[in-house]
Amino acid sequence: MGLGFRVSVVASAKTLCIVADAHARSKDEVLRALGVSPDKGLSSSEARRRLGECGLNILEAGKRRGFLDVFAEQFKNLFVVMLLAATVFSLAVGETIDAILIFAIVLFMAVMGSVQEYRAEKILEALKRLASPKAHVLRDGRIVTIDSSELVPGDVIVLSEGDRVPADARVIEDRDLYVDESMLTGESVPVRKQADVVLQRGTIESDRVNIVYSGTFVVRGSGKAVVVATGMNTYMGRIARIVAEAEETRTPFQVELDRLAKRIAAIIVAIAVMSFIIGYVKHEAGIVDLVLTSIALAVAAVPEGLPAIVVIVFSVAAWNMARRNALVRRLAAVEALGSASVIATDKTGTLTVNEMTVKRLLSPDGKAYTVTGEGYIFRGGVFLGEKRITVNESKWARLVALVSLLNNNAEVSDGKIRGDPLEAALIVLAAKLGLDPSGARRSYRRLREISFSSERKRMTVIVEHDGELLVLSKGAPEVIVERSVAYMDSSGVVVDLSDTAKKKLLEKVEEEAGRGFRVIALAYREAARGDLEADDDAVESKLILLGFASLIDPPRPEVPEAVRKAISAGIKVVMVTGDHPATARAIASMIGLPEGRVVTGWELEKMSDEELAKVADEVTVFARVTPEHKARIVRVYRSLGHIVAVTGDGVNDAPALKLADIGVAMGVRGTDVAKEASDIILLDDNFATIVAAVEEGRRSFDNVKRTVLYLLSANIAEVAVIFYAALRGIGIIFTAPMLLWINLVTDGFPAAGMAFEEAEKDVMKRPPRRRDEPILGRNQFVYLLVLGMFITALVLATYHYYEPHYGHEASAAAAFLTMMSSELALSLSLRRLNTPLALDVLLRNKQWLLGYAAGLALSIAAVTVLAPLFKIAPLSLEQIVVLIAVSHIALVAFEETRKRIGLRV
C-alpha cells in the first residue's frame, strides 16, 4: 500500500512519534493527537522531552564497505579458490616457482577488480545531505530557526517560497502553497497543498495534497504544517530503509561464471583421480610421480588466466563506456547491461528534460501553432507550418507574448528559473515569439495584480505602456473562456464569442488535455483608470480570448532515436513514473514506445504478483507509482526471466536502482541517492548514452566469450595430452611449468588483446541474452571438445613424429611449440566468432597485434634460450618455422571452414 503511514509508533504514554494516516484526518484531529496549539507550537521543554523519546530528525547511516571488504570479496570466486588450491599443492611438492606464478595472477586479478569495483555504501549519507539544515518552527509562541535535526513530532513549521521541507508534516494553513515533489514522486508539475482537505485512507503519496514531505521544495506561496513524522519514520526514511535492506543482486554473468567454474572443478577432480588410479594400477608408478602428474592435470585444466582476462575485458569496456559518458561503478554490470531485455525508465528528467515547455499554441479560430525548442533556453520559435510567427508581424502574437510575459512572477536567466516552472515556460514562449523579456518588463509598468488561487483558477494584472492600460489574464480554460465575450483571431480581428463557440473551444481543450498537455488560457482587454480601483470580478470580466498554451515536460530530443535502437535490439522499454497517466501516455507516444497497456499505482495495489506477471509484457507505462511499486515491478520482471535495467535520477528511483540487475543513474540531474544506488551513471543524462552502453556491454560479452573459447580449448588439449601420456605410460609430455607458460604467458597476451576487439556488425541486431543462457551452451561445449581434440591430435602427431628421431626431450619441445603456436593461430581466427576473417580486420586491433607478437616471441624463446628451464631440448630455426607454419595453416583452415559452413558458436 505504498509508503504510507500505517502503524502508530508510541514512544511513551504521552508522546506520539508518528501519526498514522495523517492525510485521512482533519487538521484539528492531528493537532489534538499531537497535543499542540497551532498558534503557540510546542514549548521548548516539551520539544526537548519529545526529542529524547523520538530521536533526532536524521536518517540512520548504514554500514559502509571499506577497500579491504571489497578486496576480500574478490576471493569469493570459485576460479580463484581453485587457483589458490593449486598454489598450495605446488608449494607442498616443492614447485615454488609455479606457486609464485599462480598466486601472482590471483593477486593481480583481486587488486584490479577491487580498484574497479570499490565504492563505499554512501546511500544513506547522501539521503542525510538532502535534509534541510535549518527549519523555521513555532516554539513558545514565537517563530525561531533551529537545526532541522532537532525537529520533533508536534512541531509547527513555517513554510515559505524557496524552503526545503524539513520533515513530513500535515498542512494546517496554506496561502497558495505549491511544492515540487518530483524528486520523490516523479511528478514534474508542482503540487498545490491544501489544509482543509481530508482524504481517504489508502490514498497514494503523490495524491496526498494535505501532506508535505521531507526533502521537497516550496516553489510558491507559504503556509504552516504540523510535523507528523521525523527521521526514519518519514517518507524519505522509508525509501532509505528499502534501499538499505535491498540485497545486492548478482548479475547473470557472475552466476554463470560460477557455474562454469564448478563444472571445471568437477572435471579436474574426476580426471586427476582417474589419472592417479590408472598410473598406480596399470603402470605401478611412484606416489610422488603420480601426485606431480595430478597437479599437472589440475594446472592444465584450470584456466588460470581467465578470471584476470575477464576483469581486463570488463575494465576495457568500462573505459570505453566512460569515454561515451557512462561511468561504470560495478564491473559485472558492464556485461549485464549488454544482456538487458527490459529497461524500466523513469520519465521526469530521464526521458524528459524536466523543464515545463509550451509545445503548442492554439488560436480561437482553430489554428494550431507548433512551438520548437525545449526547456528554459530562449531557443526555438513559433510556427504555422513552415512560417514563423513573431510579434513584429502579428498583433495577436504580440498580445499573446505580453500576457505570457507580464502576467507572470517568475524569472528566467541562462536556463535557470526562479518561481513557478509553468510561468517560466510562458516567459520562454514570449521570447520565442520575438518579445524581449527584459525590455518589455522595463517598458510596461505593472499597476495592479490580482493573484492566482486554486479557488479562482486565474491571475490578472493591469499594466501601463505609453499611457495605455491593458488587463492581462491567464488561467484555467473553463474560467477564462466563461469570462470572455469575444476572441481575437490569428489575423488580429476581434470576433464575438457565442455560447456555442465557447462549448466547441472547451471541447478542443479537453482533447488537448487528453494528449497529456496542461492547457492555460490567455486573454486581455483594454483597461481604464477606473479598473485600478474596481473589484476583482469587474476587472476580470468582458475579456477577449487570445487562445491556449499547451504545456508539457517534453522528451529529450535524442530519446526517440535511442528508444528505436533499443527496441530494434530486442529490448523492451517501459516507462515507470509517478506522473499522471495521460501525461505519461503522451510522452510514451512522443518517444516512440509501442502501443501498450497503461497501469496505474492504484491498479497495482489491487494486483497480486502473479496477476502483474501475466500482463507485464503488455505494459508500456506504469503511472502514479510509488518507490515500493517500482521495486515490485523490477522483481516481477526479473521473475519472468528478464534481465532488468532501471534508469532514474530521483530519490524515488533508489530502491528499484539497487534491486535491478543494472541500476543506471543520471549524472547531472541525478540525486546523490540515485547515483550511490546505481551500477552505472550516465554523465551527460542522455538516454541515448544507454544504447551506446548496451552496445559496449554486448561487445564485452562477445570478447569474454571468445576469450573463454580460446583459453578452454588450450586447457582441453593440455588435459587430453597429459591423460594420453598417463594412459600410455610414456612419461610427462607437458610439465606444470610448461602448462603455466602456455596458460599465463603465451596465451595470456593474445587473450588480453582480445579485450579490445571491436563490436561485430550484428551486435545490436541480436535479441538479448536470456537470464538462464549459459556462457557456454551445448553447441559451445561440443565445439570446444572437437576443437580441443583437433589440437590434441596435432600436438600428439608432432610428438610421435619427433620422438623416434630426436628422443623425448626434443619431441616434448616440438609438442610444446605446436601447442603454443596452435593457440596463437586460434586467437587470430576467433577475432571474428561467426563470420570469416577479412584482411582489413587483421590490422585494426593494435593491442591484439602486440599480444600476438609477444606470444609468438615468447613461444620461440621457450624452445630456444629458455629450453633448459623447461628441461627440454632446444629446437632449430628450421624446425621452429615448419612447426609454426603447419599449426597456423591447420588451425586457421579448421576455423574458417567451420564459419563458412555456418556452424555458429
**Residues recognised as catalytic:** 346
DSSP character for 347? I
Q: What is the DSSP letter of 593?
A: P
DSSP secondary structure string for all residues of 14-65: S-BSB-TTGGGS-HHHHHHHHT-BTTTBB-HHHHHHHHHHH--SSPPPPPPP
**Residues whose CB falls within 8 Å of the CB of residue 585, separated by 6 or more in sequence, listed in order:** 516, 598, 621, 623
| Cell numbers given for 570 | 530486442
The three cell numbers locating residue 435 = 518579445
46's grid cell? 516539551
E-state strands within 409-555 = 411-413, 416-418, 445-450, 458-465, 468-475, 484-488, 494-496, 518-527, 543-552
Q: Which residue has the cell 504544517?
A: 225
Contact between 671 and 650 under an 8 Å Cβ cutoff? The reply is yes
Closest CA relative to residue 668, chosen from 353, 266, 408, 258: 353
Helix (H, G, I), strand (E, B), or coil: what is residue 164?
A: strand
**C-alpha distance from residue 111 to each of 118, 121, 679 (Å):** 10, 19, 19
Hey, what's the cell of 598? 497503461
Give the number of residues written for the chain: 905
Distance CA 166, CA 163 (A): 9
Q: How large is the angle between the packed helices 78-92 and 252-282, nearest 10 degrees? A: 30
The amino acid that residue 469 corresponds to is L
Beta-bridge partner residues of 362: 368, 548
- Asked if 151 and 57 touch (Cβ cutoff 8 Å), the reply is yes
What gap in Å lies between CA 494 and CA 506, rounded to an integer? 19
Partners of 137 in beta bridges: 144, 157
Cβ density class 90-114: b for 16+ within 10 Å, e for less: beeeebeebbebbbebbeebbebbb
d(CA 97, CA 78): 23
Phi, psi of 445 (to 5 degrees): -100, 125
The C-alpha atoms of residue 660 and residue 851 are separated, in whole angstroms, by: 37
Strand runs labelled E in 642-766: 644-648, 662-666, 680-682
Residues near 397 by beta carbon (within 8 Å), at least 6 away in sequence:
382, 389, 390, 391, 433, 434
Q: What is the torsion angle, in degrees rounded to the nearest 10, for the CA atoms of residue 490, residue 495, residue 499 and residue 501? A: -30
Cβ(165)–Cβ(213) under 8 Å? yes
C-alpha cell at 458: 486565474
Here the cell at position 437 is 523579456
Contacts of 66 (CB under 8 A, 6+ apart): 120
- Tell me which residue of 391, 396, 475, 473 sits closest to 439, measured CA to CA: 391
Q: Of 387, 390, 426, nearest to 405 (Cα)? A: 426
- Give the per-residue SS3 of 186-201: CCCCCEECCCCCCCCC
Q: How far apart are CA 184 and CA 841, in angstroms?
A: 50
